[in-house]
Amino acid sequence: MATLKNVTIDDNGFLTLPIGNTAQRPSSPQLGMMRYNNDIDSLEFYDGQYWLRISSLTGIGGTKTLVEEGGEPFAVHSFTSGSSTFALG
């Protein structure tokens, strides 16, 4: 497979991502890899340490901590003062 750099997709079609279950994740993932995980029915990306779901709800502010539940990492935002904002993204 070719290695592409600085690619612009000028089309209204689609981009096909790899699909597989959690056990089929790459054994040596690289920062920025993306795939569709059909075990969790979600897009996910590798942040250099964890495979994270690409979710439509994003927390902004507070102290962000990654926790694992059932082998899956989740972001937890702790707010101790002030206001909080959540946005669809």
Residue 56 to residue 87: CA distance in whole angstroms? 8
Per the model's pLDDT, the better-predicted residue between 26 and 78 turns out to be 26
Percent of the chain with pLDDT over 90: 33
The C-alpha torsion from 62 through 32 and 16 to 22, rounded to 10°, is: -80
Residue 31 has pLDDT above 90, yes or no: yes
Q: What's the confidence (pLDDT) of residue 19?
A: 96
Count of structural domains, the chain:
1
Q: Which domain holds residue 55?
A: 29-88
Does residue 8 lie within any of the structural domains? Answer: no
pLDDT by residue (tens digit) across 32-41? 999 999 998 8
Per the domain annotation, does 60 fall within a domain?
yes
Whether 33 is in a domain gets the answer yes
Query: Do the domain assignments include residue 21?
Result: no
